[in-house]
Structure 1
Amino acid sequence: MTTPTSIVAPPILFEDGEALVIDKPAGLPVDRPRRGGPCLEDYLDALRLGFQRRPAPVHRLDTDTSGCLLLARNPKALKRFNKAFEERLVAKTYLAILDMEPAQGTGTIDLALAKISSAEKGWRMIAAKKGKPAISHWELLQVISEGDRRRSLIRFRPETGRTHQLRVHALQGLGCALLGDPVYGPKRGQNTGAARTMLHAETIAVERAGKPPIQAFAPFPEDFACAGLSAPEVPGFEPADG
């Protein structure tokens, strides 16, 4: 398949014999959309980088979400990385923008999630007592003022990896959907001041027995800076530019 010319190939943030971490751009689906169009699969041949096999994504990021995406370069590594995710041994942080200022500076959101669907609205996740456990820690990094409005930069550290976890936890745990979220925020088509859901997979770290850990950091996105926020310091990584 020909690589689409409208999408910039994802930069590589980490590489060794069993793993790649790429900086997935916002707007690039991991899986092929039902309606067709570009997706990560279009770049897997180019990401072989001399290896016989194409790398395989270990986890998923929403189409709008940018940042760290882990790929396994062989089946054994894929199996080990999947097990690490299942056992909650993968550490991740995400940056998000909210059009509000939380009352506190840090906190933990413990809301189980379940999937619902309807003909009118399609499917979505909701907080439900009988849902799957979902836990997210968060901290407030920055607040800017725009008249009477406040805009916040939040760092999330999820313990679990449920579908749409941070998007639902932001809405029902902090009281405000992520900026630009068309599902959990304002209705699609309304002006939110953002071209996408403002969520960025900032870091990922995976411990490995007998090998150095996988560690990767995805630089602060340009559209986050255009929204008025500044790149925060990331413990364990070089300070971000800008």
Structure 2
Amino acid sequence: MLPLTILYQDDDLVAVHKPAGLLVHRSQLARGEREFLLQRLRNQLNRRVYPVHRLDRPTSGVMVFGFSSEVAARLSASFSERQVEKRYLAVVRGVAPEQERLDYPLREEDGTRPKAQMPAMPAMTDIRRLDSVELPVQVDRYPVARYSLVEARPLTGRRHQIRRHLSRRGYPIIGDAKHGKSIHNRFFAERFAAPRLLLAATWLAFDHPQQAKRVQLSCALDDTMTALFEHLGWAGHLPLDSVRTPPCSEGRSSISPV
């Protein structure tokens, strides 16, 4: 088993690249699973780590852990208070809007109660089309197939928010078994060897909980998405692993913080 890619580490926290398909920690919904990101990271570093936020199991990308429960709690509060910038890359069906804010309310999906009993909560995601492609093949009912590369910036933190918002808008993420369309999912699995959710957390920026600096992390895509981008002519949009740590007063995006 290959070691996890460490994107950033200091005395207080560590950031890693979470592989697609790996659960972050044990849950009641996956009792039979034996492998978890939390335990792999503890074993690799030979020390305890504490989760700060979450990524869906099929989503890859940057995740942060604290080395103490106090640091993790401070970072979690930053996420809850929308002081953290998050960016994702997604491959979607169709030609997505050039830029748009999606603000469909979403019911929380915690698996403990029927959805009808759960109130719809405000949710916002900013999306931007970075590129698109038209393939001369009939996948569904049209003679050609169109797909887009979308950058998504969630401004709230509802469960499966990006996946549900894009699906609701009519541009489901390829590989999404729950909110997508199976015929397009199969096409990407068979034609491009991409049989997974094509969603990756590629950027995270937050104020360090112990130091007067802002940590900005960029995370490269995994081999599956990298090969796909190169095949579709999107190699110019491939992110790289990188770290910047400007003072807290610098480096903030003009986009509303998440």
Determine the C-alpha separation between the residues in 2 that align with 1:74 and 1:234. 30
Determine the C-alpha separation between the residues in 1 that align with 2:50 and 2:110. 29
When the two structures are aligned, how many residues end up with a matched partner?
A: 222
TM-score, structure 2 normalization: 0.76
Provide, for residues 61-92 of structure 1, a one-character-per-residue CA deviation record: whole Å limited to 9, x for no partner.
11110110011111221111011011010111
| Pair 117,214 (structure 1): closer, same or farther in 2 beyond 3 Å | closer
Q: CA deviation at 1:117?
A: 9.1
- Provide the secondary structure at the position in 2 that maps to 1:191: helix
Which of 169, 173, 178 aligns to 1:178? It is: 173
Alignment map for 1:73-88 (pairs within 5 Å):
73-88=67-82
Corresponding residue for residue 191 of structure 2: none
Determine the C-alpha separation between the residues in 2 that align with 1:166 and 1:63. 14
Root-mean-square deviation over aligned CA pairs? 3.0
Q: CA deviation at 1:168?
A: 0.2
* Residue 37, structure 1, aligned to residue 34, structure 2: yes
Q: Which moved more, 1:108-117 or 1:24-33?
A: 108-117
Alignment map for 1:20-169 (pairs within 5 Å):
20-32=14-26, 33-48=30-45, 53-102=47-96, 104-115=97-108, 130-147=119-136, 148-169=144-165
| Pair 155,189 (structure 1): closer, same or farther in 2 beyond 3 Å | closer
Corresponding residue for residue 224 of structure 2: 223
Q: CA deviation at 1:31?
A: 1.9
Q: CA deviation at 1:47?
A: 4.3
| Pair 167,125 (structure 1): closer, same or farther in 2 beyond 3 Å | farther
Determine the C-alpha separation between the residues in 2 that align with 1:46 and 1:117. 29
TM-score, structure 1 normalization: 0.81
Gaps of 5+ in 1: none
| Pair 48,160 (structure 1): closer, same or farther in 2 beyond 3 Å | same
CA contact (8 A) 1:220 1:231 kept: no
Q: Which moved more, 1:158-167 or 1:26-35?
A: 26-35
Gaps of 5+ in 2: 137-143, 189-193, 244-258
